[in-house]
Structure 1
């Protein structure tokens, strides 16, 4: 499939691109090479090939969402720079 200048201008308009006249030849050549590559891909026999959604067959190994107490209150307060007997003390940020 060949792309002419009118098709290029139409595609640029739809994509909201501004193409300078000196860029037209380069873009036409690039689009021609992409479309010829796509035509080559269309010639490949893909009969019996399952479509892929991902390149790998790996699956996520989900863990159960279980609530646990990893730290006791004393362990959590142990390294706090400012604390009382129950809570970690933080500076006031809202007046």
Structure 2
């Protein structure tokens, strides 16, 4: 499928983008080049390639899950605007 100036103008209108008439030709050429590159990639034989979650063989180091901050709930709960049974009450935001 080739993208022409009319398609670029229509998509720009739908996306609420301002594209001058003299720019639509250059944009359509560039988009057609990009689609050509995508077609080239689609033709690559990847039948023997295993899917990867990440292109590099790296692992994410995780820190120990431990409490590092002191428990100050008993100090701040009395000054909270609203609380109930040891919990902070917040206004409802979804009806």
Partner of 2:17: 17
Kindly tell me the number of residue pairs found equivalent between the two proteins.
69
**C-alpha distance in structure 2 between counterparts of 1:2 and 1:58, whole Å:** 40
Ranges in structure 2 where 5+ consecutive residues have no aligned partner: 69-95
Ranges in structure 1 where 5+ consecutive residues have no aligned partner: 69-95
Are 1:28 and 2:33 an aligned pair?
no
Q: Is the 8 A contact 2:12 2:18 kept in 1?
A: yes
**C-alpha distance in structure 1 between counterparts of 2:49 and 2:36, whole Å:** 23
**C-alpha distance in structure 1 between counterparts of 2:30 and 2:10, whole Å:** 16
Counterpart secondary structure, 2:36: helix
Equivalent residues in 2 for 1:4-83 (5 A)? 4-67=4-67
Aligned-pair RMSD on alpha carbons?
2.0
- Greater radius of gyration (CA): 1
Instruction: Note closer, same or farther for the CA distance 1:57–1:14 as it changes in structure 2 (3 Å cut).
Output: farther
TM-score by length of 1: 0.60
**C-alpha distance in structure 2 between counterparts of 1:38 and 1:22, whole Å:** 26
Higher strand residue share:
2
Shift of 1:47: 0.9
